[in-house]
């Protein structure tokens, strides 16, 4: 027999009071269980929100890293272009009085281009002592430069070197070309 039954039998507690006490106990149990379920749901929601925030942070960090890599690559490209421009401009050997047209293929090999040269420059081009380089002032900006400059330029921007013949001692040039 329970304590409740003994108190009812002795008349120390009424039946209504016992029912009310049972109902209160059931409500408290229900509230405890409900609060545990709510607490578990809330904890799960918080964990999911935390996980999503971490994933978003990781995505943002990766996006920032990719953006920084792109910026660094662009900066390096600009530095190489500036270095190439400086090298070409400082070693340009074009003669404004030159009258002989020297024909060559452009970088993609589709178009025949021409540059005006002197007879000495023409011979140096044929012997591989001079090279034709693409400047960046406009589409038709071609520069004559020494072989060493072209080789240095070919190391970091090979698309700028348009014509560089193998170096020779001049023995393979015909008498007609030597006289020109």
Q: Which residue segment(s) compose the domain that 5 sits in?
A: 1-90
Does 132 lie in the same domain as 53?
A: no
Does 78 lie in the same domain as 138?
A: no
The pair of three-digit structure tokens given for residue 34, joined into one six-digit string: 């409900």
Does 82 lie in the same domain as 32?
A: yes
Residues 22, 25, 31: CA angle, nearest 5 degrees: 140
Which helix (H) or strand (E) segment holds residue 146: the answer is strand 142-146
Instruction: Give the predicted TM-score (pTM) of the model.
Output: 0.60
Q: What is the pLDDT of residues 109-146, one digit of tens each?
A: 788 899 999 999 999 999 999 999 998 877 778 999 99
| Residue 95 counted as domain residue | no
């Amino acid at each position: 027999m329970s304590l409740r039954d003994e108190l009812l039998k002795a008349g120390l507690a009424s039946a209504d009071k016992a029912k009310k006490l049972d109902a209160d106990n059931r409500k408290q149990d229900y509230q405890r269980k409900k609060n545990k379920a709510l607490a578990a749901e809330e904890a799960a929601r918080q964990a999911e929100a935390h996980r999503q925030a971490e994933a978003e942070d990781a995505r943002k960090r990766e996006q920032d890293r990719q953006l920084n890599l792109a910026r660094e690559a662009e900066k390096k490209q600009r530095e190489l272009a500036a270095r190439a421009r400086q090298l070409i401009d400082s070693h340009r050997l074009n003669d404004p009085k030159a009258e002989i047209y020297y024909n060559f293929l452009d970088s993609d090999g589709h178009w025949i281009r021409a540059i005006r040269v002197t007879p000495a420059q023409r011979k140096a081009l044929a012997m591989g002592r001079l090279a034709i380089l693409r400047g960046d002032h406009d589409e038709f900006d071609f520069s004559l430069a020494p072989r060493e400059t072209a080789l240095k330029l070919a190391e970091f921007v090979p698309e700028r070197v348009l014509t560089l013949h193998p170096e020779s001692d001049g023995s393979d040039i015909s008498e007609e070309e030597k006289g020109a």
